[in-house]
Amino acid sequence: MIEIEIQADEEPRALAELIASAVHGQPADDAGVTLAGKQIRDEQERDEIARGSWTDMATVDFAKLDEEWEAYVKAKY
């Protein structure tokens, strides 16, 4: 996770430039904003690669889960 602090003296343009740089790769007037946007994109890409595909995730077998729950309830009560 990257933490970024923007000191813009109540100028919303700095935040807009950072968002545009991070989302679209658009260069900003301030090189620091462009660098921060690149860091955000790089971090996001690393996270997406590490996370893997949703098709690789384990699934839940609700029929089995229901059977186990019923057995638990019967044994407990």
Looking at beta carbons, which pairs linking 30-33 to residues 24 or more positions away fall under 8 Å?
A: none
CA–CA separation, 29 and 52 (whole Å):
35
* Residue 20 within a domain: yes
Taking the CB of residue 57, how many other CB atoms lie within 10 A of it? Answer: 8
Q: Provide the domain count of the chain.
A: 1
Residues 37 and 24 sit within 8 Å (Cβ to Cβ):
no
Q: Which residues contact 28 (CB under 8 A, 6 or more apart)?
A: 17, 18, 20, 21, 34, 37
**pTM strictly above 0.75:** no
Whether the pLDDT of residue 59 is over 80: the answer is no
The domain in which residue 38 lies consists of 12-76
Q: Which residue has the higher pLDDT, 18 or 42?
A: 42
* Residue 19 within a domain: yes
* Residue 72 within a domain: yes
* Residue 3 within a domain: no
Residue 2's pLDDT is 63
